[in-house]
């Protein structure tokens, strides 16, 4: 398999963790989101993903897949080993919901293309951009923390004794929050889970700074 | 089951279609997103969904579920009848990816709370808000159209001979696009699918204007 990835993309980071948890063999094809006006915007990459976003996963069996959560669920369905989603329907709904809290309601409002549009087309200042970023990430993490408290207080991971899809989404989002200097000091559940995850090789190998295209 | 819903919420609309396709029995509990500063922001609703968003689905078996795609997948897993996701993993990845294109990369950037924040905290004008809305919805629909052309040109629905999760997401998003006067004239694949879906009772019953709380 080949993963179209950018070291700092949190959506690609999610999928890298999932691939590692599944012990999948894969090659990284770097797509530089900044250099030359963004390689993801070129015709060549649009043929791979018409959305002009990373990640995309090229597979022998199923062609090229896009959207990080769809890719993670695919990997979980076709590869043996470590389960990324729990066995019963209610637990799966909980894990998917936590994952979507991050992947729908934090990340897309704060990703590169949106931040660029805010300062470019909408003429907002860098300060306003930072206020925007902080608002949506804290709004999301606050709800994430509350949902952990309601359902799985004190858990080692988002649910159960092994990390899964929601942990992939959470840890990569936190990398982004740290990068923008957002304090997560008040989120004790989230902080514990992050710490537990980052001890694992699958998460460590997927870190932005450990990528071939890291700068 | 009880669905916390608002007639104009496209995320709730998605789930209403799915419930109808599954021929599920459910009651609507209206949550007014505008009146009194927004009922979804009150303590009472935050206990139901800490994210302060609709929809939420209250079930006897699994407690209260949130996030529209997680709810739809749950319904598909626990209820018999009409399948909302296809049988094989590659097709499921395609349908999830189309669904996420809408539910991650169009809707959350353009939903009520974000538009309010743009004009409120960020002090953008109504014109700028409209430019913002149009940009993200067209960007998303263009990619959706291209993906249909690449994979399922001429299809009656997003995939196969029955509507599924991606159709729920697409049709509800289009309602919102029409409401904001966005032309979809150039999207022939999307337009055909919308027309086919809206002929079905499950979609028709779920329409905003057919809800108990429609104004």
What does the mean pLDDT of chain B come to?
A: 97
- Across the interface, whether the CB atoms of B131 and A114 are under 8 A apart is answered no
Helices (H) and strands (E) in chain B, counts: 10, 4
Cα–Cα dist A83/A107, whole Å: 24
Q: Which CATH architecture best describes the domain B89-202?
A: Up-down Bundle (1.20)
pLDDT at residue A139, as a whole number: 97
DSSP structure string for B87-137: SSHHHHHHHHHHHHHHHHHTHHHHSHHHHHHHHTTT---HHHHHHHHHHHH
Mean pLDDT value of segment B75-96: 97
Return all residues near B182 (Cβ < 8 A) that are at least 6 apart.
B133, B134, B137, B138
Separation in Å, CA of B51 to nearest CA in chain A: 5
pLDDT value at residue B80: 96
Please name the member of B65, B118, B146 whose beta carbon is closest to the beta carbon of A93: B65
Which of A131, A133, A126, A130 is CA-nearest to residue A109? Answer: A133
Residue B95: band (very low, low, confident or very high) from pLDDT cuts 50, 70, 90 = very high
Q: What CATH code would you report for A2-82+203-210?
A: 3.40.30.10
Q: Going by C-beta distance under 8 Å and a sequence separation of 6 or more, which residues neighbour residue A118? A: A124, A128, A129, A132, B122
pLDDT value of residue B39: 95
Chosen for mutation from B50, B116, B129, B138 (greatest number of chain A CBs closer than 10 Å) is: B50
Gap from B214 CA to chain A (nearest CA, Å): 26
| CB proximity A78 to B under 8 Å | yes
pLDDT at A69: 98
Domain ranges (residues) in chain B: 2-82, 89-202
pLDDT score recorded for residue B19: 98
Q: Which of A79, A164, A64 is CA-nearest to residue B94?
A: A64
CA distance B93 to chain A (A): 5
| pLDDT at residue A66 in the model | 98
Quickly state the pLDDT bin for B205 (edges 50, 70, 90): very high
State residue A107's pLDDT score.
97
Which stretch of DSSP H or E encloses residue A57?
strand A56-59
CA proximity to B139, closest of B163, B110, B119: B110
pLDDT at A71 (0 to 100) = 98
Chain B CB contacts of A100 below 8 Å: 67, 69-70, 103-104
Residue-level pLDDT at A215: 95
pLDDT of residue A132: 97
Q: What is the pLDDT of residues A128-142, one digit of tens each?
A: 999 999 999 999 999
- Mutation target to probe the A interface, by most A beta carbons within 10 A, among B53, B104, B115 is B104
* Alpha helices per DSSP H over A79-212: 89-105, 107-110, 112-119, 126-152, 165-179, 188-198, 201-206
Q: What is the 3-state secondary structure (H, E, C) of B139-183?
A: HHHHHHHHHHHHHHCCCCCCCCCCCCHHHHHHHHHHHHHHHCCCC
Q: What is the mean pLDDT of residues B52-57?
A: 97
CA A22 centroid distance within chain: 16
Class of domain B2-82: alpha beta
Would you state the pLDDT for residue A197? 98
pLDDT tens track for B148-194: 999 999 999 999 999 999 999 999 999 999 999 999 999 999 999 99
Size of interface A-B (CB pairs under 8 A): 130
Find which of A93, A118, A148, A153 to mutate to test the B interface (most B CBs within 10 Å of its CB): A93
Q: Which residues on neighbouring strands pair with residue B56, listed in sequence order?
A: B4, B66
Residue B144 tokens, joined: 């959706």
Q: What is the mean pLDDT of residues B39-68?
A: 97
What pLDDT score does B65 carry? 98
pLDDT for B113 equals 95
User: pLDDT (tens digit, 0 to 9) for every residue of chain A, 215 residues total?
Assistant: 999 999 999 999 999 999 999 999 999 999 999 998 999 999 999 999 999 999 999 999 999 999 999 999 999 999 999 999 999 999 999 999 999 999 999 999 999 999 999 999 999 999 999 999 999 999 999 999 999 999 999 999 999 999 999 999 999 999 999 999 999 999 999 999 999 999 999 999 999 999 999 99
Q: Is A69's CB within 8 Å of B100's CB?
A: yes
Q: Do B132 and A122 touch (CB under 8 A)?
A: yes
Class of domain A89-201: mainly alpha
């Amino acid at each position: 398999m080949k993963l179209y990835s950018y070291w700092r993309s949190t959506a690609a980071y999610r999928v890298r963790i999932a691939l590692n948890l599944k012990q999948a063999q894969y090659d990284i094809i770097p797509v530089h989101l900044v250099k030359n006006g963004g390689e993801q915007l070129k015709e060549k990459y649009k043929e791979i993903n018409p959305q002009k976003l990373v990640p995309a996963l090229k597979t022998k069996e199923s062609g090229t897949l896009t959207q990080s959560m769809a890719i993670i669920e695919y990997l979980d369905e076709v590869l043996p080993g470590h389960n990324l989603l729990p066995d019963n329907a209610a637990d799966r709904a909980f894990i998917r919901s936590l994952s979507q809290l991050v992947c729908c309601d934090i990340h897309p409002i704060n990703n590169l293309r949106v931040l660029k549009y805010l300062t470019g087309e909408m003429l907002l200042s860098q300060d306003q951009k930072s206020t925007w970023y902080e608002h949506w990430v804290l709004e999301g993490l606050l709800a994430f923390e509350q949902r952990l408290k309601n359902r799985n207080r004190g858990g080692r991971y988002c649910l159960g004794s092994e990390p899964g899809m929601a942990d992939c989404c959470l840890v990569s989002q936190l990398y982004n929050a740290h990068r923008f200097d957002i304090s997560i000091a008040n989120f004790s559940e989230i902080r514990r889970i992050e710490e537990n995850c980052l001890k694992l090789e699958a998460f460590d190998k997927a870190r932005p700074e450990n990528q071939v295209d890291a700068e």
